[in-house]
Amino acid sequence: MKEISFVILIIASCIACKKQHATSFYFWETMYEISPIEKNIWMN
């Protein structure tokens, strides 16, 4: 019974571990320049 629990624990740990490995990216192809800071103009 202990062995089964141990195996379950390992599987659960692996799933948890795998879940935390996801890498993603944001992709902003163009910037619609709404924010003044993003506009290519001089600011004070």
Partner 1 sequence: MDELNVQKLYVRFFDVDMKNNEAIPIGEINIKEKNIQQEIIPVVFITNDVFKNLDKNKIEDLAKHIKQEIEFIYPKISDKKIKEIQFDCDWTISTRSKYFYLLNIVEKQNPTLLVSATIRLHQIKDKTKTGIPPIKKGVLMYYATSNPLDFKEENSILENKLAENYCKEIQNYPIALDIALPIYSWAIIENQVGEKRLLNGIRNDMLKDTSIYQPIKPNFYLVKKDHYLHGNYIYEDFTIKTEEVTTTQLEQASTFLKNKIINQELNTIFYQLDSSNLSHYSIQNLKNISK
1 touches partner 1 (CB under 8 A)? no
Q: How far apart are CA 39 and CA 44, in angstroms?
A: 13
For residue 17, give Cα distances in angstroms to 9, 10, 20, 24, 42: 12, 10, 5, 16, 47
38 touches partner 1 (CB under 8 A)? yes
14 touches partner 1 (CB under 8 A)? no
34 touches partner 1 (CB under 8 A)? yes
CB-nearer residue toward partner 1: 1 or 41: 41
List interacting residues with partner 1 (CB under 8 A): 16, 19-32, 34, 37-44
